[in-house]
Structure 1
Amino acid sequence: MKIFSPLIAAVFIMLFQQKMYAQKVETAKVPGNYTIENCVNEFDLAQAKKTNSGYQYWFADKKFTEENTLKMSIVEPGKSTHAPHRHPEEEFFYILEGKASFYLNGKTVEVGPNTSLYCPPNSDHGISNAGDKDLKYLVIKKDLR
């Protein structure tokens, strides 16, 4: 009987973990006040937030979503929203218009429209406008509440 003890213990632990996971799924936050009207967000310049480098428009911020945010940033030529930085969340940029200078962990590359840029967790990263027209890009980030 002692030969099977580790196997029985492993099965018991697996069953316990499955039960705990099932309870977590049952108690997960269920979307509350989401409607077709507030789930569709069309860009409105009047609702954009002015910044030192241009403006930002939040399609979905952390007050609205379950865990992800979506923001559009417009950056004037020669400017950036902030200096290179790091945070525990991963982040995506998607270039819509203009020319971006993307900094990641000591290296820089210039890219244009229809390019995605990935920032792994805890990496030094930054984005700035490397062109002579406004840079427009989306920022997609998971909110670690």
Structure 2
Amino acid sequence: MKLAATITITILGLFAQQAVQAQEVKKETASTEPKYTIENCVNRFELDKATKTKVGYQYWFADKNFTQENTLKMSIVEPGKSTHAPHHHVEEEFFYILEGTAQFYLDGKTVTAGPNTSFYCPSNMEHGISNVGKTDLKYLVIKKDLK
């Protein structure tokens, strides 16, 4: 009988210890997850908060540290320039032209397009975008980032 009581007390102690550890993990996780409010879920573009790049600016409306996996960035590229050479990566991307004239490169072919045009780039396909117009190119990039 004493042995059964000792085993029961030991098991209850282990359960209590696991419950405390689970609460600590939950507290740690909760403190690293963003708190979503109307104030931080609405983001209005402001050029003075944009990051200057070698070819223009970029502005993150949402990044993977805030969202559940998706990012939304606006790029502004000066005439005759591109953000980088054609490349590929595992994440798919979706581009949407707001202003200017873009030349899309996808898998060895190009197309030129203006505002209200979208461009989808599947995973691992070589792609690029450049400004072939006489004014700034402004476009959105939507991407599902792998964490």
Alpha-carbon displacement from aligned partner over 1:45-91 (angstroms, at most 9, x marks no partner): 11100000000000001111110000000000000000000000110
- Give 2:85's aligned residue: 83
Residue 144 of structure 1: how far off its partner (Å): 0.4
- Give 1:69's aligned residue: 71
2:128 to 126, 129, 134: 126
Seq. identity, %: 75
Count of residues in correspondence between the two structures: 117
RMSD, matched Cα = 1.4
Distance 1:109 1:45 in 2: 29
2:46 to 44, 48, 63: 44
Distance 1:95 1:39 in 2: 23
Distance 2:105 2:34 in 1: 39
TM-score normalised per structure 2: 0.77
Distance 1:111 1:46 in 2: 28
Distance 1:77 1:34 in 2: 37
- Give 2:105's aligned residue: 103
- 1:93 partner letter: F
Distance 2:127 2:58 in 1: 19
- Give 1:143's aligned residue: 145
Residue 108 of structure 1: how far off its partner (Å): 0.5
Larger radius of gyration: 2
Distance 1:75 1:32 in 2: 31
- Give 2:115's aligned residue: 113
Question: After the TM superposition, which segments of 4 or more aligned residues of structure 1 sit over 2 Å from their partners?
Answer: 29-32
Alpha-carbon displacement from aligned partner over 1:6-44 (angstroms, at most 9, x marks no partner): xxxxxxxxxxxxxxxxxxxxxxx9974000000000001
- 1:53 partner letter: V
- 1:34 partner letter: Y
In the alignment, structure 2 segments of 5+ residues that lack a partner are 1-28
Distance 1:119 1:54 in 2: 22
- Give 1:23's aligned residue: none
TM-score normalised per structure 1: 0.78
In the alignment, structure 1 segments of 5+ residues that lack a partner are 1-28
